[in-house]
Amino acid sequence: MVLLVFVDLDPRLTVLDRLGGFFVLRTGVPPRGPLPTLASAWADPRSGTPAEVYADPTTFRVEKVARSIRAPESRTAVSVAQQGLAARFWSIALGAAALCGQVPDLDPELLRWDPDAAAPDDLWLSEVRVRPVTDLDAVVRAGLLVPLSAALRSRYRVSPGLLWGNAGSALAGTVRQLDRWALVHERPEVGERARELAGRLFAHPDLVGTLDPRTLRRRSCCLYYRVPGGGVCGDCCFDRPPRPAPGRT
């Protein structure tokens, strides 16, 4: 049995910095000025063209990713963009839960996002409110991933199975990162706690079955193999990039 040793979740959340870039969550007002909240980013687009950052931040981000990776189709860019955000959400919440025994409230009305930033996604929390670890599912899956999926599917033809597969893969990746950190820093309780909490999260119908429980390989594909030079990911359901169907590129 490993004794759990928690670190205080400080008001500025700087304790998360020690876990690495995907776990960082800034507080206050960003240097470049106020950013859109995730709630506003996922709402119906305001007047203006999709190319304007704040007219439709979600579409802007997908198009930015598409240009960056030279995606051959919009759903590939959607998948990559969504998985990047999912990884950030899980990292922040699960990292705080495993290290501190508490979770910052990532309410989309409080969480601000810079859709024009480089990866990992730049997130700022305008007000720090603490929630218990038992709220992990409510904070991330229900509070962030469900509305993100709805916003993306309202704009693009992308399957829910692909998006939840991305979310499951991102959650497993977060656990691996925390396990590595725990090993290097001789904090085995952090890795153990992360695995325990992730197991509970994977029990939800949205996430159960997204990964093979034995190999942790996902049962869907994120489509990254369609990116020029992309190949398959380490947890992909394919051993090699599938050949396109006749008539498709």
> What digits encode the pLDDT tens for the residues 11-28?
889 999 999 999 999 998
CA angle 155-158-159, nearest 5°?
A: 135
pLDDT for position 249: 43
Residue 116 lies in a domain: yes
For residues 73 and 49, the model is more confident at: 73
Say if CB 201 and CB 171 are below 8 A apart: yes
Longest distance between any two alpha carbons in the chain, whole Å: 59
pLDDT of residue 244: 60
- Count the neighbouring beta carbons within 10 Å of the beta carbon of residue 170: 22
Residue 214 lies in a domain: yes
Domain of residue 211: give its range: 15-226
Q: What is the pLDDT of residue 237?
A: 77
Query: Among candidates 38, 50, 189, which has minimal Cα distance to 126?
Result: 38
Instruction: Note whether residue 70 is domain-resident.
Output: yes
Question: How far is it, in rounded angstroms, from Cα 28 to Cα 138?
Answer: 24
Any idea which of 96-100, 166-170, 176-180, 230-234 has the lowest mean pLDDT? Answer: 230-234
Taking the C-alpha atoms of residue 76 and residue 63, their distance in angstroms, rounded to an integer, is: 11
Q: Is residue 101 part of a domain?
A: yes
Whether the predicted pLDDT of 193 surpasses 80: yes
What is the residue-averaged pLDDT of the chain? 90
How many domains does the chain divide into?
Answer: 1
pLDDT over 90, % of the chain: 71
From 132, 138, 139, select the one nearest 100 (Cα to Cα).
Answer: 132
**Banded pLDDT at 53 (limits 50, 70, 90):** low
In a domain, 144, yes or no: yes
Q: What are the pLDDT digits (tens) for 128-181?
A: 999 999 999 999 999 999 999 999 999 999 999 999 999 999 999 999 999 999
In three-state secondary structure terms, 211 is strand
Type of residue numbered 124: W
Among residues 190, 201, 197, the alpha carbon closest in space to that of 2 is found at 190
Residue 209: C-alpha distances to residues 91, 168, 180, 189, 239 (Å) = 21, 9, 25, 26, 19
Paired sense of beta strands 102-104 and 26-27, if any: unpaired
Q: Residue 96 in contact with residue 103, Cβ under 8 Å?
A: yes
In a domain, 233, yes or no: no
Residues 6+ apart with CB under 8 A from 215: none
pLDDT score, position 223: 84
Structural domain includes residue 192: yes
Q: Residue 85: which H helix or E strand, with range?
A: helix 74-100
